[in-house]
Amino acid sequence: MSDPSVALALSAATALVNSMATDAWQATKALFVRVFRRGDDDETVIGAQLERGAAQLARADDLERVRQVLIGSWQLDLETLLRDHPEAEAELRAILAGIEPQQTGRTWHQTNIARDHGMTYAAQGGNVIHYSVNQPPAAPDPSDEER
């Protein structure tokens, strides 16, 4: 397979798996079932495989590991589809154009307030942010005092 086809299969598989935990999952699943119908795949079987992957992701203890395994599996299936049905490339690109902005356009909002010499520890998207307001001055170190 050509590098662009491999890259397209990887991008499509990544978008597919990333959408499994979103509100757009059912719509995304329907789009991919339609793409896979080009082959000899039964849409009921493909739909069940997609749902099994979404369920595995939902139950995962190691979310990133399961995500990577699912992406790899769907990438291989998409590479095979593109090799056997090169005309599916345009449809896959159209699907990606529709779902990638939804995934990257996600906005998170968080409000954290520290009062009365309090501290706030906040995490979002894997980042831990420490913010403190009006911390009282540290007590003098007794070893620094003159004797």
Give the model's pLDDT for residue 41: 66
How confident is the prediction for the chain on average, in pLDDT? 81
The mean pLDDT value for 12-22 works out to 92
Q: Positive or negative, the Cα torsion across 84, 43, 103, 76?
A: negative
Query: What pTM was estimated for this model as a whole?
Result: 0.66
User: DSSP secondary structure string, 45-108?
Assistant: HHHHHHHHHHHHHHH-SSHHHHHHHHHHHHHHHHHHHHHH-TTHHHHHHHHHHHHHHHHHT---
User: Which pLDDT band holds residue 104 (cuts at 50, 70, 90)?
Assistant: very low
Domain boundaries, the chain: 3-104, 109-137
Give the model's pLDDT for residue 117: 72
Token couple for 35: 């793409």
